[in-house]
Amino acid sequence: MKICTMQELLNAKVICNEELLGKHVYSACGSDMMSDVLAYVKDQAVLLTGLVNPQVIRTAEMMDMVCIVFVRSKEPTEQMIQLAKDSGIVLMATDKRMYEACGILYANGLVGNKVKK
């Protein structure tokens, strides 16, 4: 699925790196706990979260993610936006709750991988 398709499905606002909306992504995860993302997530290209702090961007960068979607109308700080720009990570925000946003993406073909153990 292209990031621009995700944006349309979630009615999300693009915050930065709009030029990368044509990139394809094949999996996603949703979490507000970055320790869980680091411990259990493998090969996810998209992170859906309601957590707004610079550690979210750093975690996504370490995990080679290309897109972060902030749920519940959360907005990243300027520091976070700059980190994402520097890392080539698309930031978007949607008013949907995490459960709904993940469900919409899953129902439209964007899946998650098995949890690594």
CA distance 9 to 40: 26
Q: What residue numbers bound the domain in which 10 lies?
A: 3-107
23 falls within a domain: yes
- Name which of 9, 34, 38, 37 is nearest 21 in CA terms: 9
pTM higher than 0.85: yes
Tens place of pLDDT per residue across the chain (117 aa): 999 999 999 999 999 999 999 999 988 999 988 888 888 777 778 999 999 999 999 999 998 899 999 999 999 999 999 999 999 999 999 999 999 999 999 999 988 765 544
51 falls within a domain: yes
CATH of the domain at 81: 3.40.1390.20
114 falls within a domain: no
87 falls within a domain: yes
Q: Based on the structure, what is the number of domains in the chain?
A: 1
89 falls within a domain: yes
116 falls within a domain: no
- Name which of 101, 60, 102 is nearest 80 in CA terms: 60
β partners of residue 67: 46, 90
